[in-house]
């Protein structure tokens, strides 16, 4: 097998450093609803597009560049003390690990369009929810999939304690959220989609 063939990406091949850090959904098998089946991986259209763009960037740009660098470094002789070769192989394993993770997560993703709930005053996946705390502070969060959360943009995962408390509640409802400092009551002020 040539050096380039050894560097080919195989999405089914696990690396020799252990399993992916993909969480509970990657190691399970079986049909949805069966014991051991992966949990639902809800995701918004924007989140799926971001993950797919990252996957394509890794496949089309980053991985070929690293493969070329490793191939060049391998031609330079002694691989045991060749920093370019050692680093390149390490980076290649990181890229392949991320490719496997993205491929698995996208394969089980269920894209949800929050716009179908436009005008509804009940909290569902994809909603932008404004709530107020007992001290009067207001916060706005968007409930999104676990693979697309960006906290700096006010997004929270649909499996987080806050989202679990908010889901299915209506505008004006008071819900209780378990936080590290104890149970906190919040009032839903506004729900919007899109």
Copy the structure tokens of residue 177: 């959220």
Instruction: Render each residue's pLDDT in the chain as its tens digit; 194 residues.
Output: 455 455 555 555 554 433 333 332 222 333 444 556 667 799 999 999 999 999 999 999 999 999 999 999 888 877 778 888 999 999 999 999 999 999 999 999 999 999 899 989 999 999 999 999 999 999 999 999 999 999 999 999 999 999 999 999 999 999 999 988 899 999 999 999 97
Enumerate residues 6+ apart whose C-beta is below 8 A from 113: 44, 45, 126
What's the per-residue H, E or C state across 51-72?
Answer: HHHHHHHHHHHHHHHHHHHHHH
DSSP class of residue 182 equals E
Q: How many other CB atoms are there within 10 angstroms of residue 87's CB atom?
A: 14
Beta-bridge mates of residue 95? none
Strands 155-157, 174-179: pairing is unpaired
Would you state the pLDDT for residue 77? 77
Q: pTM score, two decimals?
A: 0.74
| Alpha-carbon span 18 to 149, nearest angstrom | 25
Rounded CA gap, 156 and 149, in Å? 6
Tokens (6 digits) for 139: 């916060």
Q: How far, rounded to the nearest angstrom, does the alpha carbon of residue 140 sit from its chain's CA centroid?
A: 21
Give the pLDDT of residue 80.
78
């Amino acid at each position: 097998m040539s050096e380039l063939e050894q560097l080919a990406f195989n999405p089914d091949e696990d690396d020799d450093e252990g399993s992916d850090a993909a969480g509970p959904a990657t190691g399970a098998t079986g049909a949805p609803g069966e014991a051991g089946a992966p949990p639902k991986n809800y995701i918004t259209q924007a989140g799926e597009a971001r993950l797919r763009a990252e996957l394509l960037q890794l496949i089309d740009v980053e991985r070929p560049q690293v493969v070329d660098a490793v191939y060049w470094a391998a031609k330079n002789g002694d691989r045991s003390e060749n920093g370019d070769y050692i680093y390149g192989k390490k980076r290649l394993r990181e890229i392949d690990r991320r490719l496997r993770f993205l491929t698995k997560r996208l394969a089980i993703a269920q894209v949800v369009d929050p716009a179908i709930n436009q005008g509804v005053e009940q909290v569902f996946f994809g909603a932008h929810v404004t709530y107020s705390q007992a001290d009067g502070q207001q916060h706005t969060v968007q409930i999104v999939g676990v693979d697309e959360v960006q906290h700096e943009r006010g997004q929270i995962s649909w499996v987080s304690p806050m989202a679990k408390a908010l889901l299915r509640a209506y505008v004006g409802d008071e819900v209780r959220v378990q936080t590290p400092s104890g149970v906190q009551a919040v009032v839903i002020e506004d729900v919007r989609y899109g």
